[in-house]
Structure formats: structure tokens, C-alpha cells
A and B are shown apart, each in its own frame.
Chain A
Amino acid sequence: MGQLTMLRAIIFLAGVAGSAALPAVAQQPAAGTKVVQITGLAGVKANAKGSLTPENGNLQFESAKGKASVPIRSVEDVTTGNDSQRIFRGTFGTLTMFAPYGSGRFLSLFRSKLDTLTVQYRDADGGLHGAIFTMPVGQADALKKELVAQGARTSVPVQGDAGSAEAKPSAKEKRP
């Protein structure tokens, strides 16, 4: 009986792990880059999913629950970074921690890499704001380049402009 339960647990775990290991197809919709707004954008809830588009001199964030716009000229600093997160997140992710035979801990090993984009901007009163976005890996640099091209400032030059000898494509920028 115990062996049967264990066998079932192993089959379940193998199935879950197999589905998680499938390569995620990064799709770039025409509407903009799919991002998660972690914090900082005025009028948008934390961890809101949406799309980020730099157009007509504004950085626009659009989600199912609303829109927010920041004039790109008011952006004082744009930086990119990288991080990773659990594939199984949220309530389900928390529930997996109580799965039998330590399988929840095992599932914690499955992680996805992501890029972070940090934007510092000023509002109409001169108040300094900061917004953090996460997005699929490899998209933050392109977005930063577009923002800088439209007039945003950055404390770290865009990697492509710094000269090919110094530019390290794999390394993310470090602030001075």
C-alpha cells in the first residue's frame, strides 16, 4: 500500500517536472513587451501583468485593469538586471511546499530566468518615482535601447554603444 502511494507520487512528480521542463516559447506580441509590474508605477497595483510599450514619447503600461503612462523625457535612469523565480508560484506554489516526501522542496529547484528593468522618473511636481518590471529573459536590453533612443537617460550606457571589445553580452550591467 505504502509502495503504491510512493509510486503514484513519483509518477505525479515526473509528470509535473516534465511539463515544467518544456522550453517556453518567448513570444513578442506586436502590442508590446509582456511584463509584470513589481512596484512603483502610479495607479497600478503591485505584481500587475501587462504590456509595456515605448511610443510617442511615452512609456505606456497597459493591463486588463487599467493604463499608466510615463513621459520618456522625465525618465532619469534606466537599468537592467536579471533574476530568477520559481516556476510554481502563488497559491499553488505555496501548497506544493506541503507536498509529501519533500517533493515541494524538489519542485523549488525548477526555476525560470527573467530580466528586470528599473526606471526612475519624476512626476509633474518633481517627485522621484521608481518602477520595477520583470520580463522574459533577453527583452530588457532591447526595451532599454528603445527608451534611450526616445530620450530617456541612463547611468549605465547601453551595451551595444560601449564598443564591441568592452561589451559582454552575457553579463548584466552593474551600477557605478
Chain B
Amino acid sequence: MKRAHCVMSISVLLLCALGQPTGVRAQTAPPPVMKASAIQVLMIQSDEIQLPAEFQIALYENLIQQLQKKGGFQHVYREGDHNADGAADLVVLHSTVRGFKKGSEMARNVTTVAGKTQIDVHCQFTDKDGKSVLERDLNGKVQFFGGNLRATLDFAKKGAKLAHDSFVAAPVS
């Protein structure tokens, strides 16, 4: 009888422990900051960090591709696109590289644990007037398979998700 009581208590405790984080996660899911039908992506800046040109371009192009793939925005404009001037509810994404560690694909393949490539990017979303509406730090990394440029795809997926969740997703009622 005592044993059954003990098992029951442990089960309840385990359920509570497992249930807690999901509850917290559900509560802290960020509501959309504002609704936007169009987004303009500016070229990735890397004033402080010396970033190879191919990484800068890959970050920019992958970000645009992922935003288009994710859907939700009617238009995804590139930097300098004249058509963005007439867009009504437009958000502009400014990205600045804050950290870059170029790993080694060979080291990853041979050792599995070494050779990670990581890029840290500060993302700032502004409205048409330049007023900041959202700021986040994101990163992109490649730890096991793939070339170093794959880290840019990882960042792009995270950036596109952030933009989608913050400006496209239906508001919580």
C-alpha cells in the first residue's frame, strides 16, 4: 500500500516536471509585433567583423529565398528595389554580423566534434520611417554535415521564421 502511494507520488511529480516547460513555452510565445504585408531585406553589414564576401552574399540570398519559401508576405523586396517605395505596410530587415568563426569541413568530417562554423547576426526590423519595431540576435551554424556556407542557410531559416512569426502570424485573440 505504502509502495503504491510512493509510485503514485513519483508519477505525479514527473508529470508536473514534464508539463511545466511546455506550459511556460506556450505562455511566452511572442505575439505578432505588427502586421506587415511586405518585407525589404537589406544587404548584410559586417563592419566590425571581417566576413568573406561569399558568406555575406550567401546570408543575403538565403534569407530572401527562405522568406519567399516560408510565405505570408505578399512581397519580399531586395535592397534598392524601387517597388518597395510604394508598399503600404512594409518592414525593413537590417542585419549586422556580430561574430564569425570559420570552421573546417574536413575537421568536422574527421573528428565529428571539432570544426564548427558559426555566424552571429543582429537582426533589426524597422518600419518605413526607420523606427525599430523588433531586435533579435540570431545565429547560424554547421556542426556535422555540409560545407561552411551551410551555416548561412541555418541563419536564413531562423531569420525567416522570426519574421513570419512576428509580422505574419495571426494575432492571438
- Residues in A lying within 8 Å of B, measured CB to CB: 38-40, 77, 79, 81, 83-86, 94, 97, 104-105, 108-109, 111, 116, 118, 120, 122-123, 125-132, 174-175
Contacts and interface: CB of A to CB of B under 8 A. Distances in A.
Interface residues of B, number: 28
B77 A97 contact: no
Contacts of B145: 94
Nearest to B152: A39
B58 A39 contact: yes
A105 B81 contact: no
A113 B60 CA distance: 25
B146 to A, nearest CB: 10
Given A105-B110, A109-B106, A126 B58 contact: no
A138 B38 CA distance: 42
Contacts of A175: 50-53
Contacts of A126: 80-82
B147 interface: yes
B81 A118 contact: no
B58 A38 contact: yes
Given A125-B83, A127-B81, A132-B54, 20 more contacts: A38-B54, A40-B57, A77-B53, A81-B52, A81-B54, A84-B105, A84-B106, A86-B106, A86-B109, A104-B109, A109-B106, A122-B80, A123-B78, A127-B78, A128-B43, A128-B60, A129-B78, A130-B43, A130-B56, A132-B58
Which secondary structure characterizes the binding site on chain A? strand
Contacts of B60: 128, 130
Interface string B43-77: 10000001111101110111001000000000001
Interface of B: 43, 50-54, 56-58, 60-62, 65, 77-83, 105-106, 109-110, 145, 147-149
B78 A128 contact: yes
A43 to B, nearest CB: 13
B149 A38 contact: yes
Given A81-B52, A85-B147, A109-B110, A130 B57 contact: yes
Given A81-B52, A132-B54, A125 B82 contact: yes
28 contacts: A38-B58, A40-B57, A79-B53, A81-B52, A81-B54, A83-B54, A84-B105, A85-B105, A85-B147, A86-B105, A86-B106, A108-B109, A108-B110, A109-B110, A118-B57, A125-B83, A126-B82, A127-B79, A127-B80, A128-B79, A130-B56, A130-B57, A130-B60, A130-B61, A132-B54, A132-B58, A175-B52, A175-B53
Contact of A40 (B43, B61, B77): B61
Contacts of A122: 80
A132 B50 CA distance: 18
Given A39-B62, A40-B61, A81-B53, A128 B80 contact: yes
B160 to A, nearest CB: 15
Contacts of B58: 38-39, 130, 132
Nearest to B78: A127
A125 B86 CA distance: 13
B51 to A, nearest CB: 8
Contacts of A120: 57
B85 to A, nearest CB: 10
